Chain A
Amino acid sequence: MKTKAAGSENRHLPNRLGIKSWVWGGNYTLERYLYTLHRVTGLGLLLYITLHLAMNGFRLGGVESWIDIMEILGMSGFKVGEYLVAAAFIIHALNGGRLILQHLGYTLGKPKPPVYPYVDSLRRRRPIVWAMLALIVALAVYVLIVFVT
């Protein structure tokens, strides 16, 4: 959607928040920062898959290079990394499920004539998000126990 007004950003002082608004854009509540978490975990998983494929490439170098790389990956720093990948997967999968439903308007309720004080559909359905977060924490703790033991 191109608009000629896009040019007005050149005439006046630009004030677009840009990517830094993902980290902090103002005093908003939960969903705005889940948006950031979803993107960060998505990028993390993408990075993991790239590294995973690259590591598997060491097989081409023969058994020795594979054993060497496995030794490096067995170090505790990489174990923490592996746990973070599992946690990112749990967050991304469960929040992604919520987003798929809500992107199609499900669980958000119907439009209603606004009556003051206004409560929007996402905040009316906040318990869904709390339940999802509780499930994320429970799974992350379970996976942590599995990793440690």
Chain B
Amino acid sequence: MQELTFKVQRYLPGKDKKAYIQQFTVPLRQGMTVLDGLIYIKENVDNTLSFRSSCRMGICGSCGMFINNFPMLACHTPVEELGTDRIEVRSLPNFPVIRDLVADLDLLFEKHKSIKPYIISPDTEEAEEPTAEFLQSGEELEGYVQFAYCVKCGLCMAACPTVATDALFPGPQSLGQAYRYCTDRRDAGVEERFHQADSRHGVWLCHLAGACSEACPKGVDPALAIQLLKRAMVFDSLRLKKKKKPASIAQPLAESKPKIDVPEFTVKQP
């Protein structure tokens, strides 16, 4: 049976001063992912190995790790795709390590929360007690839906060289989400978010290294969202763009008769 060498980062708080690498041998199975390899180690070799995972299908975003020097979702990375039998797994860079491969993602969630990642409705009454849907065209939806696929895995933050050097930079995840909401016609929080992004440690510190979009496992393309946010902010300050009109509310459906009459029963009812 072919075997894989897993070199895994270990760190036990209170005991270790710094992280170190421990080597494990794992039997290769067909279709095996990096997460499967880690689960094998935990179940068969060393049950003290700590890592985070949940859905095992690239949806929850909890298994982000630095695998062979690239941020990836462990459950979404088949070992065959790595093209080597030596796999090095470290915890995500730019996030503090809690233990072994478990990164502290508080920073990501705090930054995400700080941009108000929800629709700030201009009509608070309608937002509290909705009477109907807000109208939105397909084209408007296409303007942001790509950015709405974010699973908050933090891979983009681990890849970003500005996050690596500036603790106060909001990072690609939250700035991308700021644009996602600013471009939504149902939202009226543009000014607040622009004001927040336009700071000394804000959006202008993005120098388009593009590593965030390269690493994103969901095709969100945060680098594109950030550049579009900058453009929107520049145009807004130069008053070059019309303010977006707030989305209107759908009219109640008109009463209508069914076009085709329901046919009579052809079988006699008992």
Q: Give the nearest-CB partner of B166 in chain A.
A: A16
The answer to whether B68 and A120 have CB atoms under 8 Å apart is: no
The answer to whether A105 and B231 have CB atoms under 8 Å apart is: yes
The answer to whether B13 and A113 have CB atoms under 8 Å apart is: no
Q: Contacts of A118 on B, CB cut-off 8 Å? A: 216, 218-219, 221
User: For residues 5 through 29 of chain A, which have their beta carbon under 8 Å from a beta carbon of chain B?
Assistant: 5-6, 8-9, 11-19, 21-22, 25-29
Determine which of A36, A38, A99, A104 lies in contact with B231 in the assembled complex, contact meaning CB atoms within 8 Å. A104
Determine which of B143, B211, B227 lies in contact with A103 in the assembled complex, contact meaning CB atoms within 8 Å. B227
Q: Is A116 an interface residue (CB 8 A)?
A: yes
User: For residues 155 through 204 of chain B, which have their beta carbon under 8 Å from a beta carbon of chain A?
Assistant: 159, 161, 163-165, 167-170, 196, 199, 201-202
CB distance from A16 to the nearest CB of B (A): 5
Q: CA separation between A103 and B213, bound complex, in Å? A: 15
Q: Give the nearest-CB partner of A6 in chain B.
A: B167
Knowing A2-B168, A4-B110, A99-B208 are in contact, say whether A13-B97 is a contact too (CB < 8 A).
yes
Stretch of B37-45, B88-96, B244-252 lying at the A interface = B88-96
Q: CA separation between A102 and B231, bound complex, in Å? A: 9
The answer to whether B227 and A104 have CB atoms under 8 Å apart is: yes
User: For residues 199 through 229 of chain B, which have their beta carbon under 8 Å from a beta carbon of chain A?
Assistant: 199, 201-202, 207-211, 213-216, 218-221, 223-225, 227-228
Q: Contacts of B69 on A, CB cut-off 8 Å? A: 26-27
Most buried by B among A6, A102, A122: A122
Main secondary structure on chain A at its contact with chain B? loop
Determine which of B159, B214, B234 lies in contact with A123 in the assembled complex, contact meaning CB atoms within 8 Å. B214
Chain A 110-149, CB within 8 Å of chain B: the 1/0 string?
Answer: 1111111010111100000000000000000000000000
User: For residues 23 through 46 of chain A, which have their beta carbon under 8 Å from a beta carbon of chain B?
Assistant: 25-29, 31-32, 34-36, 38-39
Q: Contacts of B213 on A, CB cut-off 8 Å? A: 120-123
30 examples of A-B residue contacts, CB within 8 angstroms: A1-B169, A3-B111, A9-B167, A13-B11, A15-B96, A16-B94, A16-B165, A19-B165, A21-B93, A22-B161, A25-B93, A25-B159, A27-B69, A27-B70, A28-B214, A28-B215, A31-B210, A32-B214, A102-B208, A105-B230, A111-B146, A112-B146, A114-B218, A115-B219, A116-B219, A118-B219, A120-B213, A120-B216, A122-B210, A122-B214
14 more contacts with CB within 8 A, not counting A1-B168, A115-B219, are A2-B168, A6-B110, A12-B13, A26-B69, A26-B211, A31-B214, A99-B207, A102-B227, A106-B231, A111-B146, A111-B147, A113-B145, A121-B223, A121-B224
| Interface set of A (CB-CB < 8 Å, partner B) | 1-6, 8-9, 11-19, 21-22, 25-29, 31-32, 34-36, 38-39, 99, 102-106, 108-116, 118, 120-123
